[in-house]
């Protein structure tokens, strides 16, 4: 697991390139905010998390399947990730931030993802 990256992952880089090409500017991984959001739009008080479906337990997603072995290790770990994510999002919202989660599986339809991001950032 030491090879699993927490920053600059392929899904994150795709979202970053998409937003940059549309003219949006952002800060990366602001550690002062709960959960260290992947993209921070400080002037808009909005943050974007780019989550891998497996690691963050995307509900009803084929990519979020459980491993077949060592369930005693994986279940608490993956559920802990999900619980921590929800707690961090709650803290951000309480602080006046708007939060969007982009899931890895959403990258298969880039036009739809671009509309979702634009709607979130413009409203």
Query: What is the Cα–Cα distance from 77 to 83, expressed in whole angstroms?
Result: 10
- What are 4-56's pLDDT values in tens digits? 667 889 999 999 999 999 999 999 999 999 999 999 999 999 999 999 999 99
Look at residue 114 and tell me if it is in a domain. Answer: yes
Q: Which helix (H) or strand (E) holds 72?
A: helix 71-94
Asked if residue 65 belongs to a domain, the reply is yes
Q: Which domain holds residue 30?
A: 10-122
Domain count, the chain: 1
Q: Give domain status of residue 108, yes or no.
A: yes
pTM of the model: 0.92
pLDDT band at residue 64 using 50, 70 and 90 as cut-offs:
confident
Q: Is 56 exposed, middle or buried (0-12, 13-18, 19+ CB in 10 A)?
A: buried
HSE (side-chain half, CA atoms, 13 Å) at 45: 8
Count the Cβ atoms, other than its own, within 10 Å of residue 36.
16
Mean pLDDT taken over the chain: 94
CATH code for the domain in which residue 91 is found = 3.40.960.10
- Domain for residue 22, yes or no? yes
Residue 58 lies in a domain: yes
Residue 29 contacts residue 109 (beta carbons within 8 Å): no
> Considering the domain boundaries, does residue 5 fall inside one?
no
């Amino acid at each position: 697991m030491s090879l699993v990256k927490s920053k600059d992952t392929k899904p994150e880089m795709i979202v970053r390139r998409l937003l940059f090409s549309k003219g949006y500017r952002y800060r990366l991984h602001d550690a002062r905010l709960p959960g260290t959001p992947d993209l921070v739009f400080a002037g808009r008080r909005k943050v974007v998390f780019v989550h891998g479906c497996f690691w963050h337990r995307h509900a009803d997603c084929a990519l979020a399947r459980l491993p077949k072995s060592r369930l005693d290790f994986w279940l608490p770990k993956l559920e802990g990730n999900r619980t921590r994510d929800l707690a961090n999002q709650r803290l951000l919202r309480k602080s006046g931030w708007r939060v969007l989660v982009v899931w890895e599986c959403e990258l298969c339809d880039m036009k739809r993802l671009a509309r979702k991001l634009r709607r979130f950032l413009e409203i």
